[in-house]
Structure 1
Amino acid sequence: MDPNPTIKGRGAQINVPNRFFQLSHEMRDDFLEYCAKEGEDADKNKTLYLEVFPKTIVNKVESPDVGMGYSMNMYQGCEHGCIYCYARNTHEFWGYSAGLDFERRILVKKDAPKLLEKFIKRKSWEAHPIVMSGNTDCYQPAEQEFKLTRQCLEIFLKYKHPVSIITKNALILRDLDLLKELSKDNLISVNISITSLSEETRRVLEPRTATIKKRLETVKILSENGIPVNVMMAPIIPSINSHEILSLAKNVSELGALSIGHTIVRLNGAIAEIFTDWIKKTMPERADKVLHQIESCHGGSLNDSRYGTRMRGEGEIAKQINDMVKLAKLKYFRDKQMPTLNTSLHEQYKDGQLKLF
């Protein structure tokens, strides 16, 4: 038997112990052998949707280098399975592992639209852009079934409230009608995450995301319909996608994107173990090289939680990456700029319709 079987269609290949639990589960060799002899699946690899009941949905973002003031997440956990995802660690707060559980135990907040409406109707609330997907993708596969993102967009439109979206899923085009209505009053901006132009790289890094072709088409369609698009090349991973910065920037600029952003990969908390296990199984010939280069960007560690440096890194490799992004912006986005979202209309529409007096 293969001692390190690959779990197809998933990013993480293990369930690391939850740091808040004293006890942990492990898949023993004798159990795997028993399953093989009996012809049974040791791991059915199924996704479960579990409803949760939060009291609030909009979160104030305290981190000074994230670039957003408020965020909301209709789902916790993400079936996209991006191996590098910083949000994996948050799944431990819900009692699950940051590894496979993050991709297979999706927590669904069915009351999200009602909670959002209640929040933005507060008399004390002054309109400020709220970002959907500050933590997990609002257009992940669960959205096809629950349609919570669409319902929330309808709330934003009803109350003329500014909203920004971060996604790597072409499912956003399903809601093009709402996005176009929001854009008429400059109430919407979209951030499309594209980490590579290589479909092979995409499949191993982000196994259940939209294809690169679909994402590029999404940038083009949104831009053609007057919806401002920023492309996030996040994260940039040395020796995996770091060579693609200029080509990716050129491509998305030609498709209509107004700007690009980037981060350098950081492997905080449980993600370091999950990523290390993954790369040694999927890219064994360059695993050590990639890991050492990531360490060189963060003071010799895979972890980096320092505000101001955690997103951009330090050292020679980080400098080369950051300089290349600067060059890409100068070369392909010199005369482009994302608009500032409109916060002036919401106060007049707090009752769901225009106030005459």
Structure 2
Amino acid sequence: MKTRATPLNPQNRFQPIVTDRQYDDGWYQDPADDTCPDSLATEVVDEQVRTIISRNQSPDVPFDQSINPYRGCEHACIYCFARPTHAYWDMSPGLDFETRLIAKPNAAEQLRRELDKPGYRVSPIALGVNTDAYQPVEKHREITRNILKVLAEYRHPVSIITKGALILRDLDLLSELAGQGLCSVRVSLTTLDNTLKRQMEPRTAAPATRLKIIRELAAAGVPTGIILGPVIPFINDHEIESILEAAAEAGAERASWIMLRLPLELDELFQDWLQRHFPERASHVMNRIRDLRGGKSYDSRFGRRMTGTGPYADLVRQRFAKRARQLGLNLHEAEPLRVDRFRRPAGEQIGLF
């Protein structure tokens, strides 16, 4: 499929009946036949959510609260660890994840309700962690922007992870929040190679555009860093130093990295992608991934799932840390965001009488 990362739509793990979709019965093979398109449009359905803030206790991430304005992601990154979550909505982690999205139009309204609860305890909210808050559908839905408006009104701290250029649309809100010590941004920068970007992340911003995002955010006073995630053995690991150098030159202050993760259905999807784009090194890549995970494609244990273990993981860690320190980039530490500025506008008005 043009501009899609995978042509596969594997059965999700919760469906009791399995259909073999790989069998070629000879139908719809005529390339001139309009019923067999070479691209697929994105479908979006709405969900009226009853809660919007998700909470976690994972020691592997530097936040305990997050908001995802959308389920599924049109950016279509083949390596996305969130793909298996689409199975919860009775859809495939494959092509469905890229083309069948769920939007949360009442997210800002629900956020306001949750922030107004007397028992709410303030801690930074990570925005767009499971799927990108600035994927293309956000351009006309503006759910992420409405969430930011509420956070700015309540003076609530927020951190954002994105690879979408649309974030620059909200520079007014981000600079306002950053001016009060309430906002930071991490740009996901996985390669400087445009060809690899198109193969690996077909609908994301180009590498040069992501560097532009860093420059403009930094110029506006928004604390900005990068995440090199994921590092993929023998695919983009040779770019570690050059990515750090480009990020530092653009104005990034912090940098961190994540090793490739292949939970559940993602294992099949990624291996198919490898065979299509890098058949000559596919087995080499997977052997190294298994070396990182104790002989398996994935190890979900805390403390290991984000980095892997063994000599290769240690080498990546040392290379990354050495060059980042040379460039003056802060390693892994989360940006300190203020929690003491939080206010409830409605409550303050009532308190005047």
Same fold, judged at TM 0.5 (above)? yes
Matches within 5 A, 1:105-116: 105-116=100-111
Query: Where does residue 15 of structure 2 map in the other structure?
Result: 21
Query: Where does residue 129 of structure 2 map in the other structure?
Result: 134
Compared CA separation, residues 188 and 29, structure 1 to 2 (3 A)? same
SS at match of 2:102: strand
**Preserved CA contact (<8 Å) 1:127 1:347:** no
**Preserved CA contact (<8 Å) 1:228 1:338:** no
Of 254, 273, 276, the residue aligned with 1:278 is 273
* More displaced 10-residue stretch of structure 1: 310-319 or 332-341: 332-341
Aligned equivalents of 1:34 and 1:217: distance in 2? 43
Question: 1:46 offset after TM fit, Å?
Answer: 1.7
Matches within 5 A, 1:26-37: 26-27=20-21, 29-36=23-30
The amino acid across from 1:40 in the alignment is D
1:154 aligns to 2:149 (yes or no): yes
Query: Where does residue 225 of structure 2 map in the other structure?
Result: 230
Question: 1:27 offset after TM fit, Å?
Answer: 3.6
Deviation sequence 1:319-353 (CA, Å, 0-9, x none): 11111111122111257976411100113646476
Question: 1:268 offset after TM fit, Å?
Answer: 0.9
Question: 1:284 offset after TM fit, Å?
Answer: 1.1
Question: 1:34 offset after TM fit, Å?
Answer: 3.7
The amino acid across from 1:211 in the alignment is A
**Preserved CA contact (<8 Å) 2:255 2:330:** no
The CA RMSD measured in Å over matched residues stands at 2.0
1:93 aligns to 2:53 (yes or no): no
Of 55, 70, 95, the residue aligned with 1:60 is 55
Matches within 5 A, 1:117-266: 117-266=112-261
Structure 2 residues not aligned, in runs of 5+:
none
Aligned length: 351
Aligned equivalents of 1:208 and 1:152: distance in 2? 23
Deviation sequence 1:2-61 (CA, Å, 0-9, x none): xxxxx2211122011110001234446555534428723335512100111221010111
Compared CA separation, residues 57 and 338, structure 1 to 2 (3 A)? closer
* More displaced 10-residue stretch of structure 1: 221-230 or 329-338: 329-338
Of 297, 301, 308, the residue aligned with 2:296 is 301
**Preserved CA contact (<8 Å) 2:248 2:329:** no
* More displaced 10-residue stretch of structure 1: 43-52 or 127-136: 43-52
Aligned equivalents of 1:37 and 1:218: distance in 2? 40
**Preserved CA contact (<8 Å) 2:28 2:35:** no
Aligned equivalents of 1:97 and 1:346: distance in 2? 40
Aligned equivalents of 1:148 and 1:300: distance in 2? 42
SS at match of 2:313: helix
Of 315, 318, 323, the residue aligned with 1:320 is 315
**Preserved CA contact (<8 Å) 1:266 1:311:** yes
**Preserved CA contact (<8 Å) 1:126 1:347:** no
Q: Percent identity?
A: 37
**Preserved CA contact (<8 Å) 2:45 2:103:** yes
Compared CA separation, residues 352 and 272, structure 1 to 2 (3 A)? farther
1:345 aligns to 2:313 (yes or no): no
SS at match of 2:27: helix
SS at match of 2:343: helix
Aligned equivalents of 2:230 and 2:80: distance in 1? 9
Structure 1 residues not aligned, in runs of 5+:
1-6
Deviation sequence 1:101-154 (CA, Å, 0-9, x none): 000100011111101111111111121100111200000011012000000110
The amino acid across from 1:42 in the alignment is C
The amino acid across from 1:318 in the alignment is A
Aligned equivalents of 1:13 and 1:335: distance in 2? 39
